[in-house]
Structure 1
């Protein structure tokens, strides 16, 4: 009887929510998901979501920069994404005198929209299965290096054939751990302009206190616009460029969401690892996550203190703090969820089941994975204190900036033109570094990271400078020497040095204490990477074989490919939740909760007086419901990083929210998804429209949108 119950629990663990779990290929929805999506309430067809024969919703969903999702909400290329996705761009356009990040910004005309250098927006035009081409004549007898070279050569050939070198780009990505390959044909726009965003106190309201938690009251949005040439094609920035005429844009629906309404999320989820073995997951759970949490907590405490006491430092570090803090809290929640659901042990039981059903074929692979992980474990442990620790010291990376200049200076054949070009690049690099750098703050980080690494690194992986550092006093004195009198940390002196540079003067860099400091750190980090590389390659081979067995044996399981920053669809319902005994999360929040949370003595809960007054006066315009404005809602869509900014769509494919987070209790969903616990958090479009029109007074933007009321 116990055996039967155990099997039922195991079956439910991996299969019960399988229907709504997953990040699915949009081009395969008709084949795999459409029937179920319609049963859950969807009113449109799979072809309305993805088509190459007509405009579809895919033509309104974009990859924003390199790591977020955005969507087109007007015929004139108006784009919305999260505030936290646009924060680095907003910061780059800000200064203490014109602090767009702090004060917010609304362009009241096209000419007031601000170009954002380097920002791109990418549309997916078509997704094609090229597995049979890529894997043709790729034998399992090949070693991994040979296999990878053949696959890369074929991928390069396919990409080259489908890229026009200017407007259309193509790339091949692997799926199911290298068992399948797909070609993505894309169009990349390069002239993107900042249109508007609320003050950061609205865009990150709740800050790190509320991050990953519910209830939420964050106005997490920013607006940009795509510009193009007169033929509606991508172009470099030009004052003659015009707003992009959208092939498809999303209608905004503010009729209101209700419990159990069908929803789906369309976007570019970054990374999941649903099919990891128990031993691989245990390494993350028991070692990697705890290490990174410990290291980042130290760095965040220093940044937080300095940022809260100085507006200039705040402006310099805001985007990086947000990223660092986001993952710090994510990993804490992730480990909590993995522990609560006992996922490692559940995976072990599942592996036993798979091994039995595969007639013992799985066990040798799983044993080899575990053996490789045991060899990887000490290397990975030490690497953590480089990647997140010592290499988190900003001056440690300065030595790498001079690699090319050193090579050019030591060569007798270097032309003056080539040398001058590199000198100008370095000057620009240093100006950019200085703009976002605080020497005072980095000194504190350096001291903290040197002490932390000293306590945790194995003796064989300690950089050479530790040989003269016997205690914390020695480390503090060494830190002071690093930051006082180094050419590399003095931007003014560095600019003069580069302007008057002669080849023979390269010795000053080569003997600089900060250069030597960075060189020693990067040298040991490189050594660790070189030792880990063959182990990771072997893990990749074993994982590919394991996933192949999983898919061939477990016929009850609906397999979706792990996220890898390619276009996907996840679907579910608007859902409240019961995270623990006696605790209930309602499925929506309103502006009433903002008034309850406002505390201008706490940086996380500062709020603009003008917007507070609108809320207190109930001056909601057309966006109020039952005496308040809906701010956010919960749904059971499977999301991850990269889904930030993704559209949350209703049964008719209309925009009802912008995805921006997940709940703490379900934060393990990159490894294990539970429909009863995992929730994505979306900003309600009512709140977006209310802030833009009533607070931002940007009615011209509202007039561009098609709003279903």
Structure 2
């Protein structure tokens, strides 16, 4: 039976269980099965309405690729997080005009600025189950053969689905037990409309990132444009605003503690169905190593950026990302140390195995768990061997040169035989990347990164790694000599010129193979080594995929036998989560302050922070530098129509128990009527390992729509946008 049909049939078992109901990132089509629980929590819309992608409010939800956003006007106005627009602000900034610091407001459409090349917005139009087509006849395949056949079928489905204006993706659910085809309209002309100053949009910076209490105005606006003929088109001054099929009105009344909220978006990745060996590997090896690397790379950028303002601007977006993930990984490791996650996962596996062993019809699945563990052991061993050299090969323009050569090798093949990511459909994306490269490149930063990784590898005894090091260092005798070589080949390469980079997309493999350009020649020499590595990974990954699909089929059957629903891990597909506005018990020693209440029983994080709390954090220095005009307004208590009576203050951020993760950034937070009451922008530090294990204290952080509107009206005077928005 279709696993999703099983979920629908079994949903009646859990709808009275509040904790289970709040947990979960649900597909829109599952909403009708959750009807009683949704209505009990406070949904006023018909749940069936949420499963219709062409109806309000789902027809307003869009993907930015890594972030979520939503239409909020009939003229293509889009709202998302400030940190989601950060890279486009950086792209449009110079030392003389730093849009990141001062913010940006277009008083008219003519003043709106193009986003970075390659920036897109995707409007989901349909999601179709293609499991039978994707899975038929795969039982006898494994390893590389399985991956190759799945890729062939994926490309075939995409080719049949796409046209000039639509992009399609095949999504794997439940480890390969189900497959769905997503069709999206691709809008190619996206422009920056408004972003508050960094002192509002990123108030608290990396110190407050993932933390509660929070006081960040993490919001910004784009506008989508199309050609005069009504079809998607790249940037042109003559383009006109896109007219979405639906948009979200804003609720000036906002929400209060205990109120129902729901979030629709494109959550990236969660790992709640990963098995115990994966938990142990990630938290005991991968996260500790990677967290240190991310933190070290951030320090390199900060050190060089302090001396080179141009480099600081070029790497502002990357630095924010490095700090974000470094803190995220640190929080997950600390949460793991406090938890019983590994023990819980092992108990769950023991219970599943006992059921498989005692259920006659499940006999074919009794080795599924052990088979998966065996395949993962091989995969983890390869990852450990190759980690540092993979990072090394990502520095400077080494990866650019390698990808251009790989592109040429694919272009001599028929399009349906090219690798995913290197087909005709991908050319615009590569062009956008190549055009914007110099805006995000500084040789001093990249050389320092190269040195950092090379020092870990220069004396490696692994023959493959030694061969890689010899090629990328020009057989240098020591690290200093190698870094000099790295700088020299970048200075001598044609890749430093944007037009030449673009022209290389049309070159055949023999051009690269005959080239004397140092970076292109290096890419050719590296290719056989990296191709052999890729082949090894594909063989092992194919084994893991086959084993995981069988394990997940067994797990689905186990949940069905217990009458329990099972949502899949996040995979960047459209999901809905819902819950209520509420705080949670505070960890560690706390003092009463905005967002924290204490009594004889301890302290608790309250669900709202206020404008008064902004002033309390003001130090006059980044990242707690409150703009003078904002401080004056708060001290005068000039909150206008946006004051919340239950707070006697202006709400800034709030907490809810909706189930979200990375990729949900910018997701609209809606009330029971589908009105926008805020934007999801973060999680809480002490529950960051919710990606692996949801708990009763898992919370998401949202920016309150009342604070957004107040900033727009009182501080930035975005009167043109306030008139355009529909505000209830």
Q: TM-score range by the shorter chain?
A: 0.7 to 0.9
Rounded Cα–Cα distance in structure 2 between residues aligned with 1:509 and 1:616:
69
Equivalent residues in 2 for 1:187-266, closer than 5 Å:
187-230=185-228, 232-266=230-264
- Of residues 85-94 and 487-496 in structure 1, the stretch that sits farther from structure 2 once superposed is 487-496
Match of 2:320 among 306, 310, 322: 322
- Of residues 110-119 and 457-466 in structure 1, the stretch that sits farther from structure 2 once superposed is 457-466
Alignment correspondent of 1:534: 539
Match of 2:437 among 433, 449, 457: 433
1:232–1:245 contact (8 Å) kept in structure 2: no
Alignment correspondent of 1:141: 140
Equivalent residues in 2 for 1:90-489, closer than 5 Å:
90-116=89-115, 117-135=117-135, 137-143=136-142, 145=144, 147-148=146-147, 151-163=150-162, 165-230=163-228, 232-359=230-357, 361=363, 364-387=367-390, 389-397=391-399, 399-400=401-402, 403=405, 432-454=436-458, 458=462, 461-463=465-467, 465=469, 474-484=478-488, 487-488=491-492
| 1:397 CA displacement | 2.9
Rounded Cα–Cα distance in structure 1 between residues aligned with 2:194 and 2:134:
44
| 1:572 CA displacement | 1.2
Match of 1:611 among 611, 615, 630: 630
Rounded Cα–Cα distance in structure 2 between residues aligned with 1:312 and 1:376:
41
Equivalent residues in 2 for 1:469-548, closer than 5 Å:
474-484=478-488, 487-488=491-492, 526-548=531-553
Structure 2 residue 28 is matched with structure 1 residue 26: yes
Structural RMSD (CA) = 3.5
| 1:649 CA displacement | 1.0
- Of residues 272-281 and 109-118 in structure 1, the stretch that sits farther from structure 2 once superposed is 109-118
Rounded Cα–Cα distance in structure 2 between residues aligned with 1:433 and 1:571:
39
Rounded Cα–Cα distance in structure 1 between residues aligned with 2:502 and 2:230:
42
Post-superposition Cα deviations, 1:253-278, rounded to whole Å, max 9, x if no partner, equal 13232222111110011112221111
Q: Secondary structure at the match of 1:548?
A: helix
Structure 2's unaligned 5+ residue stretches are 1-13, 411-428, 589-601
Q: Secondary structure at the match of 1:124?
A: strand
| 1:628 CA displacement | 3.5
Post-superposition Cα deviations, 1:197-219, rounded to whole Å, max 9, x if no partner, equal 01223222211111111111111
1:577–1:586 contact (8 Å) kept in structure 2: yes
Structure 2 residue 565 is matched with structure 1 residue 558: yes
Structure 2 residue 679 is matched with structure 1 residue 677: no
The alpha-carbon distance between structure 1 residues 493 and 95, as it changes in their structure 2 partners (threshold 3 A), is: closer
Post-superposition Cα deviations, 1:471-521, rounded to whole Å, max 9, x if no partner, equal x9932343234325754469779999999xx99x98999667666777777
| 1:151 CA displacement | 4.8
TM-score calculated relative to the size of structure 2: 0.83
- Of residues 563-572 and 609-618 in structure 1, the stretch that sits farther from structure 2 once superposed is 609-618
Alignment correspondent of 1:704: 724
The alpha-carbon distance between structure 1 residues 403 and 145, as it changes in their structure 2 partners (threshold 3 A), is: closer
| 1:597 CA displacement | 2.1
The alpha-carbon distance between structure 1 residues 464 and 567, as it changes in their structure 2 partners (threshold 3 A), is: closer
- Of residues 149-158 and 125-134 in structure 1, the stretch that sits farther from structure 2 once superposed is 149-158
The alpha-carbon distance between structure 1 residues 230 and 144, as it changes in their structure 2 partners (threshold 3 A), is: same
Equivalent residues in 2 for 1:32-43, closer than 5 Å:
33-43=34-44
| 1:190 CA displacement | 1.7
Rounded Cα–Cα distance in structure 2 between residues aligned with 1:432 and 1:228:
22
Structure 2 residue 592 is matched with structure 1 residue 587: no
Q: Secondary structure at the match of 1:359?
A: helix
Structure 2 residue 622 is matched with structure 1 residue 624: no
2:147–2:542 contact (8 Å) kept in structure 1: no
Rounded Cα–Cα distance in structure 2 between residues aligned with 1:367 and 1:441:
45
1:590–1:629 contact (8 Å) kept in structure 2: yes
Q: Secondary structure at the match of 1:217?
A: coil
Rounded Cα–Cα distance in structure 2 between residues aligned with 1:494 and 1:30:
51
TM-score calculated relative to the size of structure 1: 0.85
The alpha-carbon distance between structure 1 residues 36 and 384, as it changes in their structure 2 partners (threshold 3 A), is: same
1:463–1:520 contact (8 Å) kept in structure 2: no
The alpha-carbon distance between structure 1 residues 216 and 521, as it changes in their structure 2 partners (threshold 3 A), is: farther
1:84–1:220 contact (8 Å) kept in structure 2: yes
Q: Secondary structure at the match of 1:253?
A: coil
1:382–1:457 contact (8 Å) kept in structure 2: no
| 1:43 CA displacement | 1.3
1:660–1:682 contact (8 Å) kept in structure 2: yes
| 1:526 CA displacement | 4.9
Rounded Cα–Cα distance in structure 2 between residues aligned with 1:147 and 1:528:
18
Rounded Cα–Cα distance in structure 2 between residues aligned with 1:151 and 1:401:
23
Alignment correspondent of 2:421: none
Q: Secondary structure at the match of 1:707?
A: coil
1:216–1:589 contact (8 Å) kept in structure 2: yes
Rounded Cα–Cα distance in structure 2 between residues aligned with 1:210 and 1:182:
38
Post-superposition Cα deviations, 1:335-382, rounded to whole Å, max 9, x if no partner, equal 222332221221111111001111265552222222223323332113
Rounded Cα–Cα distance in structure 2 between residues aligned with 1:278 and 1:507:
45
Rounded Cα–Cα distance in structure 1 between residues aligned with 2:472 and 2:666:
49
1:661–1:680 contact (8 Å) kept in structure 2: yes
Rounded Cα–Cα distance in structure 2 between residues aligned with 1:493 and 1:224:
30
Structure 1's unaligned 5+ residue stretches are 1-11, 409-424
Q: Secondary structure at the match of 2:75?
A: coil
The alpha-carbon distance between structure 1 residues 77 and 427, as it changes in their structure 2 partners (threshold 3 A), is: closer
Rounded Cα–Cα distance in structure 1 between residues aligned with 2:662 and 2:205:
17
Rounded Cα–Cα distance in structure 2 between residues aligned with 1:426 and 1:666:
37
| 1:558 CA displacement | 1.8
Rounded Cα–Cα distance in structure 1 between residues aligned with 2:496 and 2:172:
47
Rounded Cα–Cα distance in structure 2 between residues aligned with 1:188 and 1:205:
33
| 1:574 CA displacement | 0.9
**What number of residue pairs does the alignment pair up?**
668
- Of residues 342-351 and 237-246 in structure 1, the stretch that sits farther from structure 2 once superposed is 237-246
Equivalent residues in 2 for 1:23-102, closer than 5 Å:
23-31=25-33, 33-51=34-52, 55-64=55-64, 66-102=65-101
The alpha-carbon distance between structure 1 residues 520 and 373, as it changes in their structure 2 partners (threshold 3 A), is: farther
Alignment correspondent of 2:576: 569
Q: Secondary structure at the match of 2:123?
A: strand
1:401–1:426 contact (8 Å) kept in structure 2: no
2:264–2:574 contact (8 Å) kept in structure 1: yes
